[in-house]
Amino acid sequence: MIKLDRKYLALLDAASGMSQHLAGLRTCFSLLALTAAIDRGCAERLQAYDLSEGRFTVLTVLLMAKKPLAPHDLAERIGVTRATMTGLLDGLERSALITRRRDRRDRRSVKIALTAPGRQLAERVNAEHLKWIVNLVGDLNNDEQADLQGLLARIWRKTDAASSAIQGDVYENN
């Protein structure tokens, strides 16, 4: 059983008189608790390398792109504002993990590239992160993983975020 935060236990206790809703509440709160535990685990692992999720994502996108990218391209790929991207790039540059280079063809344009230490860090952290994520669902066979994906998609379709996705604001991975 998933350990629920006190706030969820309090809400379940408060709803104890509505027995027809308790199973649904417990399921939703369990999903929220699992998500929070995964987020915390991810943040702790990245913090060991002085990385936030945003900084890690920038390094990963640059690593996989195998070529320098413009800041606006990075922002679009990652789904953050240009202002947020500037802050992420400033921090990565201070840590000597990326460089900003003027484009030779258009000197007004800047391209972002990994430094050698940035590439090494991105490769190491990506390998460790992938192993950790795969291990989370490693006890589930392919059919169970597909079933879970289907169940999660059914829940997703009832969220406000899914309504936004239909309007083009959010992208669903199913």
* pTM value > 0.85: no
pLDDT in tens, 69-119: 999 999 999 999 999 999 999 999 999 999 999 877 777 889 999 999 999
**Token match 């940035």: residue?**
118
What b/e sequence results for 17-48 when a residue is b if at least 16 CB atoms lie within 10 Å of its CB, and e otherwise? eeeeeeeeebeebeeeeeeeeeeeeeeeebee
